[in-house]
Amino acid sequence: MTGTRSRTGARSSEAADRRLRRPFFARPTVRVARELLGARLRVTGPDGVREARIVETEAYVRGDPASHSYRGPTRRNRSMYGPPGTLYVFRIHQVVCANLITRRAEGILLRAGSVDGQSPGLARGPGRLARYLGLSIRDDGLDATRDARLALYARRTRPRRLGVGPRIGLSRGAERPLRFWIVGERSVSPPRD
DNA sequence: GAAAAGATTACCT
DNA sequence: GGTAATCTTTTCC
């Protein structure tokens, strides 16, 4: 847990626990959505530490009719206008979904994660992933690059194969290929793989 | 004010 | 494959 930082400045051969900081998120959303695959999200809650490896993401970009920021700031989406790395949590039906904000009110929906030693169904789907991590609507607006409760850690290796396809569950803007996943991961949402 | 819609999930036939 | 659950935000009259 406690990162072993070299005090001499010597290059570390293990980038095992490199936390993703502001500059990582302050880049084009699609690029961040792809590089988030394989990263680990760690949340410290009342029940201890929960961690999942991100295996499926969706990008929501500017001028995108499916994005919650499409019609400008509202009470619900205000955290989309926060700095890069802001967590945007919204409620849909009886569940919550978590996003990471990049730039210009663009964001990335975390659609699925894998957890070592656990069934793929545990964190398959944005609602189940957020539930497993213990995230709630009260976490909306947290800064994932600074807050102690919530941190992302860079992936150790690049995924073998990346899947790209249309986003899921949208009534508008669904045709754009803005969903990304790690091919072969069993926690990825059903359809084409 | 009232009504509709929704980046979902679970359970039905 | 279809639909109900469930509830907040947004949108419309």
Confidence label for A191 from pLDDT (cuts 50, 70 and 90): low
pLDDT tens profile A18-60: 999 999 999 999 999 999 999 999 999 877 999 999 999 999 9
A47-106 pLDDT tens trace: 799 999 999 999 999 999 999 999 999 999 999 999 999 999 999 999 999 999 999 999
Distance (Å) from CA A64 to C1' B11?
33
* Nearest nt (C1') from A95 Cα: B8
For chain A, the straight-line distance linking the first and the last C-alpha, in angstroms and rounded, comes to 34
Q: Indicate the SS3 state at residue A127.
A: helix
- Mean pLDDT across A113-130: 96
Shortest-distance nucleotide from A123 CA to C1': B9
Q: What percent of chain A has pLDDT over 90?
A: 84
pTM reported for the whole predicted model: 0.91
